[in-house]
Amino acid sequence: MKRLLNRNIILIILFIFLFVTACNSPEESEKNIRTIEVGSQNVQVEIADSPQEWELGLSYRDTLQENHGMLFIFPDAHRRIFWMKGCNFDIDLAYIEPDGIISEIITMKKEPPNTPQDSLILYVSQSITIKYTLEMIGGWFDEHKITAGSRINLPQSGN
């Protein structure tokens, strides 16, 4: 009887551990995900609106799902600089003005593994009034015929 009781306690503890671990995993439902319209395409974007999220970006991911990306929302409009630190695939980057118009699109190429930070290519916006950037998997904008001058329907969040 005591052996059966100990086994049941172990199973209960294991169940609680698995439940808590599953609840704390960074699943998509826990991320700040929004649907936006890019040209005529609906896209699921993860919102990056803090310095920690801006620095991490899409680093250390293997790929993106189809029609998924990351929208960087900045508190003000300035010239922006991006890099490919720790990125495992090519990324298309759209620099976006405060009114939601894409000013330029750049394909950022995957850097060789372990490239020193001071050797990374810097992708500097031409415009000095960039408030948003959208990162999609490399080639996405060409594939969907979205160019500079296209409009992004930005999420309404006060930013």
**38-68 pLDDT, tens digit each:** 988 999 999 988 787 776 666 667 777 788 9
Secondary structure in 3-state letters for 92-147: EEEEECCCCEEEEEEEECCCCCCCCHHHCCCEECCCCCEEEEEEEECCHHHHCCCC
136-151, pLDDT tens digit by residue?
Answer: 999 999 999 999 999 9
pTM of the model: 0.75
C-alpha to C-alpha distance for 98 and 105, rounded to whole angstroms = 16
The rounded distance, in Å, linking the Cα atoms of 48 and 138 is: 19
| Alpha-carbon gap, residue 84 to 89, rounded angstroms | 9
- The CA distance from 6 to 136, in Å, is 52
CATH of region 28-153: 2.60.120.1140
User: Where along the chain do its domains lie?
Assistant: 28-153
CA–CA gap between residue 38 and residue 111 (Å, rounded)? 27
